Homo-oligomer: A and B are copies of this chain.
Amino acid sequence: MISPPRGASRVRPPASADRDRWNPLWQGYLRFYRHHLPEEVTEATFARLIDPKAPLQGLVAERDSALVGFVTYQFHPSTWSLRDYCYLEDLYVDPAARGGGVGRALIQAVYEKADRAKAATVYWMTQEFNAEGRALYDTLARRTSFIRYERL
């Protein structure tokens, strides 16, 4: 593969060798949500992301041999369609790499995966106060009227 010009990011599936470089991104993502995950969950999640047969799928953005972002997604059925829906579960870009199109490239890469899988739609959830994320999402998607409820 021809290397992209310096500064551009390349989006690709994660591989086993990415484990140590993926971890700081994953931890930064969890810190953003002030969420603590047992180490065994992180282990299992990464193992599923690099397993092509697992339903959880992921992509990483690489720039100058550093990982600068990742996204995870999965397909699931819907009562409203004969086609699956694509649920984008996690998205994170290294704060130092923001503003350079990495988040946009990751979302668009999921759109391509969804197109190839003939998914009916792609959707995700974000906190209503996530200003930085929503400024990007508003250019790529529509904010729906739906809010999320969770069992107590």
Contacts and interface: CB of A to CB of B under 8 A. Distances in A.
A134 B141 contact: no
A152 interface: yes
Nearest to A139: B34
Interface of A: 32-35, 37, 40-41, 44-45, 48-49, 54-56, 72, 74, 76-82, 87, 89-90, 111, 114, 121-131, 134-152
B151 A111 contact: yes
- Within the oligomer, what is the number of copies of this chain? 4
Contact of A79 (B40, B72, B148): B72
Contacts of A48: 77, 79
Contacts of A151: 111, 114, 121-123, 140-141
Given A127-B131, A144-B150, 19 more contacts: A33-B139, A41-B80, A45-B79, A48-B77, A48-B79, A54-B77, A56-B77, A76-B76, A122-B151, A123-B149, A123-B150, A126-B149, A128-B146, A129-B130, A129-B145, A138-B145, A143-B147, A144-B147, A146-B147
Contacts of A140: 151-152
A125 B148 contact: yes
Given A89-B79, A150-B121, A131 B130 contact: yes
A56 B37 contact: no
A148 B150 contact: no
A84 to B, nearest CB: 10
